[in-house]
Structures are given as C-alpha cells and as structure tokens.
C-alpha cells in the first residue's frame, strides 16, 4: 500500500469504509437496461473526500492518544536554520522546572538536533523521515505516531513536535497537535508571509527570532508584521532571540497558556 498506509507501530488495521459491501442496489441497477449509456460504460461517482483524509484519520488517533495521556502538543515549524532547535534548548531549560516537557524531533536525516536537545532533562524521540518514510520533507500523522511509543506520554504535560525544516509542506499535514507555532528569523526577510501564506495562515503564533541581529540588517519589522497580519490577522507574535534568551519568557508563557487551555 501507499505511504499513507504505513503503520510504523507494526499494527495491522482495517480501513473504515463509508459504505458496506452489500452491493444489492448497485447490482440491480447495473444488470438492468444498459441501452441508455452503453456508449461510455462509465459512471461519475461523487467522492468529495479531502485528499488528506487518511492522514487526518491518523491525526485524530494521535489526538485521542494525547488526550488519554493528558498531554498537550504543539507542532513547531519553520524553514531550515530559523532557530527551532536553539529555541527548544532555551525552552527546556526555562520550562523544565514548571512542567514536564517532551520533544519529538523530526528530521530528514541525522540525529544532530536530537543529540543537541538530549541531556537537558526532557525526553527526546527522533523520527528520521529517510528511515522508512521516503525522505519526506515534512512530518505527517503516521510519522509522528511512529515516534510516540518512544516517549513516556503519560508522564508529560507538554509535547513539542519539532517538524522538518521547510516552510511549505509541514503546513499541509495535521499531526494531531493542539496548536501550531512557527519560527521566522529576521534574516529571512519581510516577504516570507506573502510567499508562504499557507504556513503563516496555519499558525496560532509566530516566533520572530534572531532579533539580536537587527542592528546588522535592513529588516523592516513594521513591514513584516503588516505582512503577517495580511495573511493571518489572528496570529500572535512574539519577538525573540533564542541565542541571548530575550523574549523567550513570553514564548514560554504562551506554551503554558496553551497547555492550560487545552486541558
């Protein structure tokens, strides 16, 4: 079967069908008088299913598992190099004493980011998409599911899913998260919200990172904020330097609010 039928946890399952397999009515119609439409021999059948239906079903299963474990999840996305991992290092050390945090680390290859985050007191599970997932440039619900067994979900309050660095594809795939956040570094320029609107529209919060570099750049913050507002008027913005720690407190407050609100 295809990629959306992977079952990394090794289970075999039956797919839900929206119809039974008793074709009584269809058969009666089909064996009837065909003279009216023998020319084509085909019939148009309305499907009207979202293309990502299979992914969405798995995402719902993930959501149910998170709810059963009492853990709130945030899907963290960005382009490569925007600073997700550095932000998460800060997040673990800042929030570690206030709630039980876990990380699911998604990367195409290598354990570099997972290694950087391990040993800080939060359990980290790595999902490499090149290992059995065709080297996909995003995490989908099945990939996330494959990593859940390696995390002590029942002992966590908050799980942050660090998605594969990419501003396009991760935005399309529900992985079962309660909230979506993204990191956009000031080094990426002001026009990214207009160029990658699906990502910016998908997120509840945008972390504007690397603000310590602003004195060295021509970055126009007002224009960037205007562009974010144009595609997503409701998104919350926090201004952060994951390197110096500036603004990280406000990001952590949002995580605490999200965790409290979702329960």
Task: Based on the shown chain and the rule CB under 8 A, indicate whether residue 191 belongs to the binding site for another protein.
Answer: no
Site string for another protein, 207-246 (x = CB under 8 A): -----------------------xx-x-------------
Q: Is 54 among the residues that bind another protein (CB under 8 A)? A: yes
Side-by-side strand order, sheet with 72-78: 124-128, 101-107, 158-162, 72-78, 179-185, 205-209, 236-239
Contacts 24+ apart (CB under 8 A), 4-12: 4/54, 4/55, 4/58, 4/140, 4/142, 5/54, 6/132, 6/133, 6/142, 6/146, 7/142, 8/132, 8/142, 8/143, 8/145, 8/146, 9/145, 9/146, 9/149
Q: Does 28 bind another protein (CB under 8 A)?
A: no
2 binding another protein? (CB under 8 A): yes
How far apart are CB 227 and another protein at their closest, in Å? Answer: 8
CB 217 to another protein: min, Å: 24
Q: Is 36 in the site for another protein (CB under 8 A)?
A: no
**Is residue 55 involved in binding another protein (CB under 8 A)?**
yes
CB of residue 52 vs another protein: minimum separation in angstroms?
6
* Among 105, 107, 113, 136, contact with another protein (rule: CB under 8 A): 136
| Closer residue to another protein in complex, CB, 49/60 | 49
Q: Output the six-digit token pair for 135.
A: 């080297």
Smallest distance from the beta carbon of 175 to another protein, in angstroms?
Answer: 14
Residues 143-182 that bind another protein (CB under 8 A): 166, 168-169, 171-172
Contacts of 81 (CB under 8 A, 6+ apart): 165, 185
Residue 255's closest CA among 181, 152, 172? 181
Q: List 206's β-bridge partners, or say none.
A: 182, 237
- Distance separating alpha carbons of residues 57 and 60, to the nearest angstrom: 5
How many residues in the shown chain lie near another protein by CB under 8 A? 44
User: Where along the sequence are the contacts to another protein (CB under 8 A)?
Assistant: 1-5, 15, 17, 23, 30, 34, 37, 41-55, 134, 136-138, 140, 166, 168-169, 171-172, 194, 196-198, 201, 230-231, 233
């Amino acid at each position: 079967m295809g990629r959306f039928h992977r079952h990394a946890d090794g289970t075999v399952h039956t797919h839900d069908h929206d119809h039974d397999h008793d074709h009584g009515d269809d058969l009666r119609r089909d064996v009837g008088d065909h003279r009216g439409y023998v020319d084509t021999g085909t019939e148009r059948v309305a499907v009207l299913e979202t293309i990502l239906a299979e992914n969405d079903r798995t995402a719902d299963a993930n959501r149910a598992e998170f709810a059963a474990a009492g853990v709130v999840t945030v899907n963290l996305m960005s382009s490569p190099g925007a600073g997700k991992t550095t932000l998460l290092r800060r997040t673990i050390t800042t929030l570690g004493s206030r709630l039980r945090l876990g990380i699911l680390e998604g990367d195409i290859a290598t354990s570099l980011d997972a290694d950087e985050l391990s040993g800080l007191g939060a359990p980290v599970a790595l999902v490499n998409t090149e290992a059995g997932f065709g080297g996909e440039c995003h995490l989908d619900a099945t990939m996330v599911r494959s990593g859940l067994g390696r995390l002590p979900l029942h002992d966590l309050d908050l799980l942050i899913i660090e998605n594969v660095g990419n501003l396009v594809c991760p935005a399309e795939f529900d992985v079962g998260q309660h909230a979506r956040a993204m990191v956009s570094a000031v080094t990426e320029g002001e026009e990214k919200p207009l160029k990658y609107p699906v990502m910016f529209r998908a997120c509840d919060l945008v972390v504007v990172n690397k603000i310590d570099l602003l004195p060295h750049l021509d970055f126009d913050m007002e224009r960037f904020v205007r562009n974010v507002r144009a595609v997503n008027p409701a998104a919350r913005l926090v201004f952060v330097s994951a390197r110096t720690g500036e603004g990280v407190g406000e990001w952590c407050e949002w995580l605490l609010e999200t965790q409290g609100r979702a329960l």
